[in-house]
Amino acid sequence: MSYTSVLGGHRHRFENLARLLAAASPERSGDRLAGLAARSAQERVAARWALAEVPLTAFLTEPLIPYESDDVTRLILDGHDTAAFAPVAGLTVGEFREWLLSERADAAALAALAPGLTPEMVAAVSKLMGNADLVAVARKVRVVTAFRSTIGLPGRLATRLQPNHPTDDPAGVAAALLDGLLLGSGDAVIGINPATDSPRAVRDLLELLDGVIRRYAIPTQSCVLCHVTTSVDLMERGAPVDLVFQSVAGTQAANASFGVTLGLLDEAYEAALALDRGTVGRNVMYFETGQGSALSADAHHGVDQQTVEARAYAVARRYDPLLVNTVVGFIGPEYLYDGRQILRAALEDHFCGKLLGLPMGLDICYTNHADADDDDVATMLTMLGVAGASFVICTPGGDDIMLNYQSASYHDALYLRQVLGLRPAPEFEAWLASIGLLDEGGGIREVLGEAHPLTAIGRDLAA
């Protein structure tokens, strides 16, 4: 089915829904690389006029990627909750935008609606919204999950402590881990990107983190971000796996490029649940996504990168995860060229994920060859904090020496908690107070020298 609109006396025609969505997308280098971007600003505006008139039900009857050949499409359509969709079933995309911005769309209404929305619906409406709209709506959505800490409560901001090291050296990991804990980081997860997917190396890191968490009774969870097959193997061998991690994308072919199927994720999910290692909840999965992953795998099926990214959230939603984060900016300037495009993508991803009912966090970052800098990170961090992000990823000094990119730092998270009056996850906050790291105002006390017991972490792991 084609779509048309007339703008400035010129008739614009878009041959199908995928082409309409791509033309309506804000400018980004990945869509231009794929030949999907609007050919002019006028065409982009014309596409948005046409998109505003599309009924939401069109996304249920006109799959962007054929049902027969893509299991993510089947997951989306077969799992659609018609009853939850009913309150907005008669709306167009433009009317849905107005509804989301109205007082009728409060936290309870949005939570009830989430199972009735598809990724294509939320991607479509995001293309009609300005940055402030994306913040205003996302802020109203609350998604609460738990394992040993509770993530996503109002007034809270959690962090992933990311103590990566180029060779997985225990002393290097210990230094970054200690740095983060002393700065109040790690309540979402202590998560390491290993230098190798070797089961032996991954198990060593899992046991290192598990030992620290147990010795200091830290109410958090660990994760070593290996391939899901490695996690399944290690769980069978008795390794201390808290969360199962996997990168996922929005098409079957893109997931195949990661070596992942829905059946494999099902197996990992059931295995992690069976371990029953959580103390306050049973959300056991951790997913990462990122705009551009399907395009880089030549698996986007002619769908724009932001809509494909939203489809990845349907995969994540199947497993009721503890954490989902988009690594916005990480895939490089070929997909998001500069700080402006990265900011826009971060707000879109956060908005779409939360509307679909996911506990969204972000790696607010850029690669060293992108046209972005630390001020872009500060701007994104502040806007995502206002928008109610569940967690952000933090690295020592904002510089990941293993993955060689720039991200937020532990100090950045303290800044955000301070200026927005946010606090850590409640269990982690109580632990910080119990070990004397929390001051009267909810901030972090400065630790001088080796006066604090936590500094033994460094000595023990370096030994």
Q: Do 222 and 340 belong to one domain?
A: yes
Q: Do 133 and 167 belong to one domain?
A: no
pLDDT, residue 316, reads: 98
The two beta strands, 285-289 and 244-247, are parallel
CB 337 within 8 A of CB 29: yes
Distance of CA 332 to the CA centre of its chain: 17
Q: Do 285 and 390 belong to one domain?
A: yes
In a domain, 235, yes or no: yes
Q: Considering 140, 168, 183, which residue would you say is the last residue of a domain?
A: 140
Buried b / exposed e along 395-422 (16+ C-beta atoms within 10 A): bbebebebbebbbbbbebbbbbbeeeeb
Q: Do 125 and 157 belong to one domain?
A: no
- Count the domains in the chain: 2
Q: Do 152 and 180 belong to one domain?
A: yes
Q: Euclidean distance between the first and final Cα of the chain, in Å?
A: 67
Residues forming the annotated binding site for substrate? Answer: 160-162, 193, 288, 363
Q: Do 114 and 172 belong to one domain?
A: no
Beta partners for residue 146, in sequence order: 150
Spell out the per-residue pLDDT of the chain, length 463, in tens: 899 999 989 999 999 999 999 999 999 999 999 999 999 999 999 999 999 999 999 999 999 999 999 999 999 999 999 999 999 999 999 999 999 999 999 999 999 999 999 999 999 999 999 999 999 999 999 999 999 999 999 999 999 999 999 999 988 998 899 999 999 999 999 999 999 989 999 999 999 999 999 999 999 999 999 999 999 999 999 999 999 999 999 999 999 999 999 999 999 999 999 999 999 999 999 999 999 999 999 999 999 999 999 999 999 999 999 999 999 889 899 999 999 999 999 999 999 999 999 999 999 999 999 999 999 999 999 999 999 999 999 999 999 888 889 999 999 999 999 999 999 999 999 999 999 999 887 889 888 777 777 887 777 766 6
Q: What is the dihedral of CA 205, 206, 208, 210, to 10 degrees?
A: 160
Q: Do 200 and 215 belong to one domain?
A: yes
Q: Do 399 and 267 belong to one domain?
A: yes
Beta partners for residue 103, in sequence order: none
pTM of the model: 0.96
Distance CA(362)–CA(369), nearest Å, equals 20
- As to burial, measured by CB atoms within 10 angstroms (0-12 exposed, 13-18 middle, 19+ buried), residue 80 is middle
Q: Considering 140, 166, 200, which residue would you say is the last residue of a domain?
A: 140
Residues forming the annotated binding site? Answer: 160-162, 193-194, 246, 288, 296, 363, 402
* Residue the block writes with tokens 């904090």: 385
In a domain, 456, yes or no: no
Tokens in use for 63?
């799959």
In a domain, 246, yes or no: yes
Q: What is the DSSP string of 51-83?
A: HHTSBTTHHHHS-SS-GGG-HHHHHHHHT--HH
Phi, psi of 51 (to 5 degrees): -65, -35
SS3 2: coil
Q: Do 134 and 168 belong to one domain?
A: no
- As to burial, measured by CB atoms within 10 angstroms (0-12 exposed, 13-18 middle, 19+ buried), residue 131 is middle
Residue 50's domain comprises 3-140
> Which of the 8 DSSP states describes residue 127?
T
In a domain, 457, yes or no: no
* Residue the block writes with tokens 């997951």: 75
pLDDT, residue 441, reads: 79
Beta partners for residue 145, in sequence order: 151
CB 366 within 8 A of CB 342: yes
Q: Where are the alpha helices (DSSP H) in 192-251?
A: 199-215, 228-236
- As to burial, measured by CB atoms within 10 angstroms (0-12 exposed, 13-18 middle, 19+ buried), residue 327 is buried
Tokens in use for 266?
């099902």
Tokens in use for 135?
């913040």
In a domain, 443, yes or no: no
In a domain, 379, yes or no: yes
- Residue of 307, 288, 374 lying closest to 345 (CA atoms): 307
CB atoms within 10 A of CB 304: 28
CB 32 within 8 A of CB 44: no
Report the CATH number that the domain containing residue 367 is assigned in CATH. Answer: 3.20.20.70
Sign, CA dihedral 154-156-157-160, equals negative
Instruction: Give the type of residue at 429.
Output: E
Q: Considering 140, 155, 179, which residue would you say is the last residue of a domain?
A: 140
Residues forming the annotated binding site for adenosylcob(III)alamin? Answer: 194, 246, 296, 402
pLDDT, residue 329, reads: 87
Q: Do 210 and 322 belong to one domain?
A: yes
In a domain, 193, yes or no: yes
In a domain, 442, yes or no: no
Report the CATH number that the domain containing residue 136 is assigned in CATH. Answer: 1.10.220.70
Distance CA(292)–CA(282), nearest Å, equals 31
> Which of the 8 DSSP states describes residue 438?
B
Q: Where are the alpha helices (DSSP H) in 219-332?
A: 228-236, 252-257, 262-275, 293-296, 305-317
Q: Do 169 and 66 belong to one domain?
A: no
Q: Do 287 and 390 belong to one domain?
A: yes
CB 149 within 8 A of CB 280: yes
Buried b / exposed e along 86-113 (16+ C-beta atoms within 10 A): eebeebbbbbbbebbeeeebeeebbbeb
Distance CA(431)–CA(219), nearest Å, equals 7
